[in-house]
């Protein structure tokens, strides 16, 4: 499966797990403002995508051959990067640096995961945990006591989750907070919501 890592222009990763993913990525794709932070960390972008409004001139000159200018203001730079990945045949996309700095960008980027999941296998990794996307049903590996939250992006469809401290049984999650602050009780959790897309946040086990 062809894989890409997208670095957005939020907080640059500091946790060892996302940093390792960034260092070992076979394809590093930067939203334009993130390129400067990536270079400061001693890594080079394979592609830079965006409207280029926050890309320093020196980087534009040095990396001109790998820059894709997309001036469309109807989508954000992260969506432009995801769309470019799909056009180039990437089937699995890991998004880093998509949270922090601005809460409005953070909420927007998380919310967009449901849209991206209809195009590719996608996950968003932060310094605190992993956002993954479930369509219809899935089983996810966990550790006992690992914190987990569920966000239903398809209103009107009940969600069921087992092997969690507070089981969900056909719960209509119509508010963003309703499926949050749960906890895994074993080595896996199961989620079922036929016809729905569920965003699951698994906090790193401590």
Question: For residue 23, what pLDDT is reported?
Answer: 95
Tokens of 121: 């296998």
- In 3D space, the residue among 82, 54, 76, 182 whose CA is nearest the CA of residue 129 turns out to be 182
Question: For residue 71, what pLDDT is reported?
Answer: 78
- The two domains 3-127 and 132-203 share their CATH topology (first three levels equal): no
Cα dihedral sign for 85, 19, 106, 46? negative
Question: For residue 150, what pLDDT is reported?
Answer: 95
Question: For residue 183, what pLDDT is reported?
Answer: 96
Q: What separation in angstroms does the CA of 119 have from each of 83, 113, 193, 204?
A: 9, 10, 19, 26
Domain positions in the chain are 3-127, 132-203
Cα atoms in the 13 Å half-sphere on the side-chain side of 186: 8
Q: How would CATH label the architecture of 3-127? A: 3-Layer(aba) Sandwich (3.40)
Listing DSSP states for 64-118 in one string gives: GGGEEE---SSS-HHHHHHHHHHHTT--EEEEES-SSS-HHHHHHHHHHHHHHTT
Q: Checking DSSP bridges between strand 129-141 and strand 147-152, what pairing results, if any?
A: unpaired
CATH topology of domain 132-203: Jelly Rolls (2.60.120)
Q: What is the pLDDT along the chain (206 residues), one digit of tens a residue?
A: 799 999 999 999 999 999 999 999 999 999 888 989 999 999 999 999 987 777 788 888 888 888 888 777 777 889 999 999 998 899 999 999 999 888 988 999 999 999 999 889 999 999 999 999 999 999 999 999 999 999 998 888 999 999 999 999 999 988 889 999 999 999 999 999 998 899 999 999 86
Q: How many CB atoms lie within 10 A of CB 156?
A: 9
The span from the CA of 119 to the CA of 116, in Å, is: 5
Question: For residue 50, what pLDDT is reported?
Answer: 83
């Amino acid at each position: 499966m062809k894989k890409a890592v997208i670095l957005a222009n939020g907080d640059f990763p500091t946790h060892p797990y996302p940093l390792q993913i960034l260092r070992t990525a076979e394809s590093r794709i930067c939203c334009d403002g993130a390129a400067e932070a990536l270079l400061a960390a001693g890594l080079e972008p394979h592609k830079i995508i965006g409207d280029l409004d926050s890309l320093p001139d020196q980087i534009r000159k040095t990396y001109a051959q790998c820059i894709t200018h997309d001036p469309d203001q109807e989508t954000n730079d992260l969506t432009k990067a995801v769309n470019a990945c799909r056009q180039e045949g990437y089937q699995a996309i890991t998004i880093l640096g998509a949270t922090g700095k601005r809460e409005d960008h953070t909420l927007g980027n998380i919310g967009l995961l449901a849209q991206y999941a209809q195009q590719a296998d996608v996950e968003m990794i932060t310094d605190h945990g992993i956002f993954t996307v479930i369509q219809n049903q899935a089983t996810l590996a966990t550790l006992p006591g690992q914190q987990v939250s569920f966000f239903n992006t398809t209103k009107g469809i009940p969600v069921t989750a087992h092997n969690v401290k507070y089981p969900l049984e056909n719960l209509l999650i119509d508010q963003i907070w309703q499926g949050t602050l749960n906890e895994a009780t074993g080595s896996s959790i199961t989620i079922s919501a036929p016809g729905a897309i569920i965003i699951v946040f698994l906090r790193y086990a401590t």
